[in-house]
Structure 1
């Protein structure tokens, strides 16, 4: 029997790597996906050194064509994901009155639209299997906007709305969509420790049908 596959989009040393380790510990194979292939390959090698099956893929979530191609590669090399984790975001400090509209559109493609592209890439197989988990990293700026984080807050508000809409749409199809909303700065040795946040993602994954939450607030 093959191991289930968790595809993690937007890989860095914090939440996403902690999530990868948490799922790998439970026997999942891992597909790590990010824009910079050399960097994501380092994380894949780190997981392999820890005994996991992990592979790296290049993806530009701002490009639907790149997203589609990346998930084709995942299926060809491993298999279609059982779990999708969407983690990318762009953080920049600029007041909303000074935010260039084109910059906002660029950031929005990564903070929100990329999530939709990735969901649409994995949904056909999940629909066929009649099962699947789609987990999205949210942010507290969706609920408590800060002027300097306007671009990120707009994106996080949108991706939260998208997650809730998908949750309602796909619930009857036995596909669980949920978001972990992190209302604080991720850092070790704080209450926003990546390892603890990863446990919230695992909690969403483990929830049985009939008890699916659409959001866990980490605050």
Structure 2
């Protein structure tokens, strides 16, 4: 199987959907993993108009066993994963005095732990030259105290991506995160389409000057 494949974790109508459309327009087959069956069905139909193969799995990435099985089945169906993109995060409006330890760990399990699950499940199907990308945020450096867990997630995500890149590099696979330094909006430089373009560009960096964190300032 030689057709390249994009696997999107946390697929939805925003940045991840825009990224899936970008790759589909280039002829990539697309695997979608998300929690909303209706959203996945709509995105599958849209991508199918490009004439590519699209497969979707409805699963909670924090359900480790179910997620690993679902990703394994998708990867087996395609035969390969060339780009794995990780998008999920949890927004919980609680400051550090309101946020419980259980809530913090629940959010980190989604926004950081989910990447671990996804890469471990997909790794056997990732050939040399494959890439892992993740949607980062300025919250990693400048967290809003009213959403304290989000900053922890994005800082942890960036840290984990660094470890993944170091681990995967000897196998010819690289990982990077794009730190979006602005608020997402329907239009303009921080629209989903523009951020998706930045993510695709990050995946295609020259390995000689590879950056594990790419800042996107719009």
Counterpart CA distance in 2 for 1:73 and 1:94 is: 37
Give the aligned length: 217
Deviations 1:56-111 (A, max 9, x none): 11121112101211112203432231110000111121111110211111111001
Contact 1:41/1:55 (CA < 8 Å) preserved in 2? no
Contact 2:75/2:122 (CA < 8 Å) preserved in 1? no
Counterpart CA distance in 2 for 1:194 and 1:2 is: 29
Counterpart CA distance in 2 for 1:12 and 1:125 is: 23
What does 1:1-219 align with in structure 2 at a 5 Å threshold? 2-126=2-126, 129-219=127-217
Counterpart CA distance in 2 for 1:182 and 1:199 is: 12
Counterpart CA distance in 1 for 2:182 and 2:13 is: 17
Counterpart CA distance in 1 for 2:24 and 2:211 is: 23
The CA RMSD measured in Å over matched residues stands at 1.5
Deviations 1:151-180 (A, max 9, x none): 111111101100112122222221110001
Following TM superposition, by how much is the alpha carbon of 1:131 offset from its aligned partner in structure 2, in angstroms? 3.0
Counterpart CA distance in 2 for 1:161 and 1:151 is: 15
Unaligned ranges ≥5, structure 1? none
Change (3 A) 1:27 1:211: farther
Counterpart CA distance in 1 for 2:200 and 2:144 is: 29
Counterpart CA distance in 1 for 2:72 and 2:163 is: 26
Counterpart CA distance in 1 for 2:125 and 2:78 is: 14
Q: Report the TM-score when normalising by structure 2.
A: 0.93
Following TM superposition, by how much is the alpha carbon of 1:139 offset from its aligned partner in structure 2, in angstroms? 1.2
Structure 1 stretches of 4+ with a deviation exceeding 4 A read none
Following TM superposition, by how much is the alpha carbon of 1:190 offset from its aligned partner in structure 2, in angstroms? 2.6
Contact 1:74/1:80 (CA < 8 Å) preserved in 2? no
Change (3 A) 1:195 1:72: same
Contact 2:7/2:81 (CA < 8 Å) preserved in 1? yes
Unaligned ranges ≥5, structure 2? none
